[in-house]
Structure 1
Amino acid sequence: MISVDAYRESVTELLGRTPVTTLPLADAAGLVVAADVHAGVSLPPFDNSAMDGYAVRAADVAEAGPESPVTLPVADDIPAGRVDVAPLEPGTAHRIMTGAPMPPGADAIVMVEDTDAGTETVRITKAPAPGNHVRRTGEDVELGVVALHAGTVLGHAQLGLAAAVGLAEVAVYRPLSVLVVSTGTELVEAPNPLRHGQIYESNSVMLAAALRGLGCRVDVVRSVVDDVEEFRKIIEPKLADADLLVTSGGVSAGAYEVVKDALTGQGVQFQKIAIQPGGPQGNGHWNGVPVVTLPGNPVSVLVSFEAFLRPALLSAMGHTAVDRRRVRARLSEAMSSPSSRRQFRRGFYTPTEGEVTGVVGPRGGPGSHLLAAFTQANCLIVLPEGVSDVPEGTEVDVLLL
């Protein structure tokens, strides 16, 4: 059997790194910046008011107080967006709104709450210090500096910053286009009625959702029957538009293993991996397109996605943090595992206040068909190779989902 780590590395190498493309900001959410983004403007781009109030010379109102207000004529009104701001003459005030440019000569803002809100004259009851409520040019970002470094994941805040420094589009690693194929003559798509011996197809739904969650573009072919010629006829024409083909089912050692039968000798190697669940796997190229073949049981599909596909896909699209967060936790009950394999069990992790380790317990048994237990889990419990019986209270590794 191939080790989990060796097989993960082979899947990662299979995908490599996607090309760089330039996309509008609206289409770049979740993608990774491919080159440093330099600020085309300073943030703020000009000195501006942080408050609604009055722009003043601090020296003119230095003696202002509740018992000794200072009254100044209001010489101008400055709303946000005004571009022709006149200088502030000594002994006057300009009424100003939040975000409006500071008039030349002014060095402080008096909040409207510290005035009588006058429009012809204003009575000021609190003396501001120089610089009070003034946002300085470049206080956040200076012109020309790196605003977003290559490798940054574009969340909503990062996209907002890119827009604020003047970008309409950004260079990113192109999202992968993935063709997802589920196989099995027994599969039926809901809401069609089931006959005895049939089951509803779910693997493609899970995989497509997981892939889209990483930013991949996904095309789905559901419920391909266990016929080699039919498989090739349906899938081969779609390979031209795919960066990756991911299949589920048809890779075990029995008869009617359509994926294994169709792709053996075509550039895809099928192997047994030292993992539970999800031992039978395969990867390679078919007609020049990378292929990853997964087992058919739903929990095997999800565990294989977490162990092999997810890190490889993230790496291919430029991410540097590709692993789930790993913590240590004490088992709330005894567990067992085949010593020749690394077992991934669904679990529920609870942090323990004041302690480094939390507590974790399994959800459901080890069976690869027990999908409902996965919906009750918030982690995967990792029981390493060489371990068979794990007593209650043992510290184990936990991958937080």
Structure 2
Amino acid sequence: MEPLDAFRHLLAAVPSRPRETVALDDACGRVLAGDLIAPHDVPPFSRAAMDGYAVRAQDVAGCSPEHPLSLRVTGRSAMGDLPTGGPGAGEAWEIATGAPMPSGADAVVPVEWTRRAGGAVLVRRPANAGRNVGPAGEDLRRGQVALRAGTPLRAQEVAIVAALGLDRVEVIPPPRVALVSTGDELVPPGAPLRPGTIYNSTLAALIAEVRHAGGRVTSAVGCVPDDEVAIARAIEDGLREAPDVLLTTGGVSVGTPDLLPEVWRRLGAEKIVGRIGMKPGGPFFAGRLGSALVISLSGSPAACLTAYHLLVRPCLLRLAGRRAVVRPLVPVVVVDGYPKPADVTRVLWARLEGHSAPFPASLRATQRPGVLSTLALANGIIILPRGSGPLARGDRAWALRTDWPEEGETLEIPQASPAAGGGPPAVSIVGHAEVGKTTLVEGLLRHLAARGVRAAAVKHASHGFDAQVPQKDSARLRRAGAEGVAVVGPGGLLWMEEGEPALADLLAFLGSRPCDLILVEGYKEGPLPKVEVLGAGDAPALTPARGLIAVVAREAGPAGGAAPTGGVPWFRADDLEGLLVFLLTHLRVPSRTVSR
């Protein structure tokens, strides 16, 4: 089974959870069970945003340091009291930050703009109505959704609950998890090693991961021998604790000591997912036994934790009530390469550096699944889809940030790096018909030429082109049996071969020419990074997982300049220079800038 299918099957198997009510002091770290609606405005009254004087804005209009206005101080608004009355014409009230605004006052003059003179205050700067005033409901309006169901409650969210006046809150119970670790070779930490044995590091890592995901470990049995009866007994003991999930490690592959598939069959587990087309982490089983979700992982640390992060942790988070269960997918530039092609989905642990995308990603010197040092240095997981070639230094890929909190609800496997074969980088310009793709490519080519960057262009003519018209001489020569036809003239060279070449072959051919960058119009489903051109009112059809790196639109992009999916940058169609700088940086095109 492919990893994406396994992910979907597992999340679909997560049952709905009950709710429980906890005291506010115990809510941090839990997940909100239902939407919280504000029963009143927060704050419930207008308040001063600065220390100073509450005034009527019309009374201080026109004042200046050279011509201050004098107001009589006739009252004071303090924290914790709702004032009665307020300043009249030509009057001011003392007020502290956060204190309720007195009636009649509509602005606060900061104390720094004033000078006290006995029972009066001299105001040296005007304050418009609303200046330095926080209105009632500034934070939350009555009836507004304050927090959504599925929100993890941090200190910030707990403060919101308290601001609503609630001392108890409904949350989802944390998932209860039992663990069983199998293997004749395992010895618990603290015990002496016998010849041929190793310490059980995988169980220790899983216990830590489960707790980090907010789960409660109900039992953890390690070093169960490779014996069907012993394994079955350990599983049955774990199930007596009524866990939501029972995790096992080891014994799940196809070797002689790998007994878990048979144990699950004998115990009557209903299979959900079997072996996955993924390295490492392919040995896998998930099913349902009674009310528990049962999952078996590889016993090797990297393989176990790979499957855990991609498949198991999202299940635990969903069981805990969270909506967001997938960590952010970010673009990376490979620093040291990886020599093997991906015959199945290949997962590589990596160290991501830097503070902005694309992040330099160092692959560890070894990616063997039993090597712990790889994991200790890693903070990301590079995912290469099945069929991807080896990664060379400078190639681009996508990685899950394991040190960032979850943001998404679905897992997407990104397409392969475009820089295969060591040729010049290439980018696809894609979009619907008549949205201006050719115009964009034309404009980019002019700007590239002005910078001294050598660029080639590919036009995907899905309906054929003029030289293929049967009456043309070039077409007649092809029909006569020529392997290829070169049409040469003062305007240049056109080379024709039978059939549409594979994009990789075409890029390899262009890469043999003097070229720094290849602009490809079309190939929306190809492996290249993509710039999507939008028509009026269109939304992006692609995502970063399908290679999207930028969006070009006639209008300005969404608020903040980022697309609603994946955080890719938006550019106006007339901002060719901005798009060009982004592409040259993102694709690491050699700089050949010339003076203009």
Q: How high is the TM-score relative to the length of structure 2?
A: 0.60
What are the equivalent positions in structure 2 for 1:202-241 lying under 5 Å apart? 202-226=201-225, 227-239=227-239, 240-241=241-242
Q: 1:400 to 1:49 in 2, by over 3 A?
A: same
- Does 2:251 match 1:244? no
Answer whether contact 1:247 1:292 (CA < 8 A) is retained: yes
Counterparts of 1:12 and 1:265, CA distance in 2: 25
Counterparts of 1:21 and 1:312, CA distance in 2: 20
Answer whether contact 2:221 2:234 (CA < 8 A) is retained: no
Q: Give the match for residue 371 of structure 1.
A: 372
Q: Cα offset for 1:352?
A: 9.8
1:217-260 deviation per Cα after TM superposition (whole angstroms, max 9, x unaligned)? 22341424214444444543442431111111122334444644
Q: Give the match for residue 103 of structure 2.
A: 104
1:281-312 deviation per Cα after TM superposition (whole angstroms, max 9, x unaligned)? 11213343210011101011110112211222
Answer whether contact 2:242 2:292 (CA < 8 A) is retained: no
Q: Give the match for residue 304 of structure 1.
A: 307
Aligned residues: 398
Q: Cα offset for 1:182?
A: 2.2
Q: Give the match for residue 6 of structure 1.
A: 5
What are the equivalent positions in structure 2 for 1:56-95 lying under 5 Å apart? 56-62=55-61, 64-95=63-94
Counterparts of 2:71 and 2:363, CA distance in 1: 73
Counterparts of 2:364 and 2:372, CA distance in 1: 10
Answer whether contact 1:271 1:282 (CA < 8 A) is retained: yes
Q: Cα offset for 1:121?
A: 3.9
What are the equivalent positions in structure 2 for 1:54-203 lying under 5 Å apart? 54-62=53-61, 64-117=63-116, 120-203=119-202
1:286-342 deviation per Cα after TM superposition (whole angstroms, max 9, x unaligned)? 343210011101011110112211222333444343323223444444434465421
Counterparts of 1:257 and 1:221, CA distance in 2: 20
1:138 aligns to what SS in structure 2?
A: coil
Counterparts of 2:94 and 2:46, CA distance in 1: 16
Q: 1:337 to 1:173 in 2, by over 3 A?
A: farther
Answer whether contact 1:208 1:220 (CA < 8 A) is retained: no
- Does 2:275 match 1:278? no
Q: 1:390 to 1:284 in 2, by over 3 A?
A: same
Q: Give the match for residue 414 of structure 2.
A: none
Counterparts of 2:312 and 2:318, CA distance in 1: 10
What are the equivalent positions in structure 2 for 1:309-348 lying under 5 Å apart? 309-337=312-340, 339-348=342-351
1:153-175 deviation per Cα after TM superposition (whole angstroms, max 9, x unaligned)? 43443333232233333334433
Answer whether contact 2:382 2:398 (CA < 8 A) is retained: yes
Answer whether contact 2:200 2:223 (CA < 8 A) is retained: no
Amino acid at match of 1:399: L
- Does 2:423 match 1:386? no
> Gapped runs of 5+ residues in structure 1?
none
Q: Cα offset for 1:71?
A: 3.8
Amino acid at match of 2:74: A
| Range with bigger deviation, 30-39 or 51-60 | 30-39
Counterparts of 2:125 and 2:383, CA distance in 1: 63
Counterparts of 1:388 and 1:56, CA distance in 2: 71
Q: 1:313 to 1:93 in 2, by over 3 A?
A: same
Q: Give the match for residue 481 of structure 2.
A: none
Answer whether contact 2:180 2:224 (CA < 8 A) is retained: no
Q: Cα offset for 1:14?
A: 2.9
Q: 1:232 to 1:57 in 2, by over 3 A?
A: same
1:116-164 deviation per Cα after TM superposition (whole angstroms, max 9, x unaligned)? 3567543333332232211111233211122223344434433332322
Amino acid at match of 1:179: A
CA RMSD in angstroms, aligned pairs only: 3.0
Counterparts of 2:99 and 2:335, CA distance in 1: 60
Amino acid at match of 1:221: A
Counterparts of 2:355 and 2:30, CA distance in 1: 34
| Range with bigger deviation, 135-144 or 181-190 | 181-190
Amino acid at match of 2:381: L
Counterparts of 2:355 and 2:390, CA distance in 1: 24
| Range with bigger deviation, 285-294 or 295-304 | 285-294
> Gapped runs of 5+ residues in structure 2?
403-596
| Range with bigger deviation, 254-263 or 161-170 | 254-263
Amino acid at match of 2:292: V
1:205 aligns to what SS in structure 2?
A: helix
1:356-376 deviation per Cα after TM superposition (whole angstroms, max 9, x unaligned)? 755434213231111111222
Amino acid at match of 2:188: E
Q: 1:389 to 1:127 in 2, by over 3 A?
A: closer
| Range with bigger deviation, 174-183 or 298-307 | 174-183
> Which structure has the larger Rg over C-alpha atoms?
2
Amino acid at match of 2:48: S
- Which residue among 259, 279, 295 is the counterpart of 1:292? 295
| Range with bigger deviation, 372-381 or 80-89 | 80-89
Q: Give the match for residue 397 of structure 1.
A: 398
Q: How high is the TM-score relative to the length of structure 1?
A: 0.86
Answer whether contact 2:342 2:384 (CA < 8 A) is retained: no
Counterparts of 1:271 and 1:146, CA distance in 2: 41
What are the equivalent positions in structure 2 for 1:10-21 lying under 5 Å apart? 10-21=9-20
Answer whether contact 2:15 2:319 (CA < 8 A) is retained: yes
Q: Cα offset for 1:262?
A: 3.8
- Does 2:254 match 1:253? yes
2:115 aligns to what SS in structure 1?
A: coil
1:55-77 deviation per Cα after TM superposition (whole angstroms, max 9, x unaligned)? 22333444544344444443333
Q: Give the match for residue 38 of structure 2.
A: 39
Amino acid at match of 2:384: L
1:264 aligns to what SS in structure 2?
A: helix
Answer whether contact 2:151 2:323 (CA < 8 A) is retained: no
